[in-house]
Structure 1
């Protein structure tokens, strides 16, 4: 699709920039990597996303972008991120494409949505968690939301979704150490989420309870979670 690919390529800078600006509003990026480093690598990745989209359009092969998404996910989850973060990058690109006139019926938008779908695990306990994510999130939120101020539900839902993504990635890669490192760092960051009086360990404890009949591998991984905040720093 040379005409479409050329149109997208000509807008690389604006598409890349517009796709990531909203991401930096999340305090996670500044806390985890430092805002300058987060912006530098985030901006570079955004350009690569568009370049791979152009390649896929040139070849009329959405699989090029899908394979890139899966490859990049494997790299990023070893650096403190999770599948949800990458999905948010592609979601931002889809919004940027719409703003440039490439709506849901266009090939560029369709290819990006295919890349997002490619991030879903196809088998194993990670797949099982993703398939049941909506029900799991709803059940965990019902357990936790009572002490929170009105209007907190969307933020709590997103937080549980994020923890599920980290858990799914650790299961898919068979890397319990990634989960351990995530919990240790995130326990100290949690206060910036504005979900007091809840803490991360309460969130994970609720998740553990809801997954009582879920994938045994997930329960085993959650059983590694410290029982106190102090343990995360021991």
Structure 2
């Protein structure tokens, strides 16, 4: 008998409820429906069920690598489709919190696996890994830079963290276009809310300055931000 048999069964029975809770929390941010439309519901539910199924398998095999390998595979898929690693990490964390709230006797085993999967999303090396590992410092430095020009909006830090995650992913994908595509979409998103695009350009400039202070002399960064800043001025589609 597997030592986590009861927990595996509880996860199976609660799968849809856990998925709906996580999706409800995610969709409080209008980004998801605007960025992905009807696909957000369909693929969000599919991914949520897969998260639980792989979690069950990791518990059944008593092997964290099952969920960690799944997390790294999904990271490659989703970052190529317009999400960022931070989105996936937040998804795993929300699921972990939902499991905690179920108060299952063995629930901590599932929580530890989910947090190991979240940790597995760290890029192991290269410029992407450097940017990702320094993300908090970069975000803080960018926020300080923006404050100097009077830009201190409440959601600034969260927005900066997401943009830094997109930067790291574009570097990991060796695709400046991955960041540029997100920036072009984001510029249109701001247009629909009557928010000037200069606000986005300022954030990108602040992030670029902060990253270059941490990692000077990297040609890939020049290419990355040139594409991103050019995308700010692209017409909305």
Mark yes or no: TM-score above 0.5.
Answer: yes
Post-superposition offset of 1:122: 1.0
> Aligned partners of 1:194 and 1:147: how far apart in 2?
19
Aligned residue number for residue 218 of structure 1:
221
- Structure 1 residues 17 and 167, CA gap change in structure 2 (3 angstroms): same
Q: Report whether the alignment pairs 1:31 with 2:34.
A: yes
Classify the secondary structure of the residue corresponding to 1:79.
coil
Of residues 90, 111, 114 in structure 2, which corresponds to 1:112? 114
Q: Which has the larger displacement, 181-190 or 130-139?
A: 181-190
Q: TM-score, normalised by structure 1?
A: 0.88
Question: Unpaired segments of 5 or more residues in structure 2?
Answer: none
Q: How many residues align?
A: 230
Q: Which has the larger displacement, 40-49 or 218-227?
A: 218-227
> Aligned partners of 1:200 and 1:126: how far apart in 2?
22
> Aligned partners of 2:181 and 2:98: how far apart in 1?
33
> Aligned partners of 1:211 and 1:131: how far apart in 2?
11
> Aligned partners of 1:11 and 1:49: how far apart in 2?
12
Q: Report whether the alignment pairs 1:19 with 2:15.
A: no
Contact 1:84 1:165 in 2 (8 A): yes
Question: Unpaired segments of 5 or more residues in structure 1?
Answer: none
Deviation per CA, 1:156-209: give whole Å up to 9, x if none.
Answer: 111111011111111111122212211211112235789779621110011111
Aligned residue number for residue 96 of structure 1:
98
Contact 1:94 1:113 in 2 (8 A): yes
> Aligned partners of 1:228 and 1:61: how far apart in 2?
43
Contact 1:102 1:109 in 2 (8 A): no
- Structure 1 residues 130 and 193, CA gap change in structure 2 (3 angstroms): farther
> Aligned partners of 2:140 and 2:99: how far apart in 1?
31
> Aligned partners of 2:236 and 2:178: how far apart in 1?
16
Post-superposition offset of 1:109: 0.3
- Structure 1 residues 159 and 5, CA gap change in structure 2 (3 angstroms): same
Contact 1:78 1:178 in 2 (8 A): yes
> Aligned partners of 2:118 and 2:105: how far apart in 1?
16
Contact 1:201 1:227 in 2 (8 A): no
> Aligned partners of 1:20 and 1:89: how far apart in 2?
9
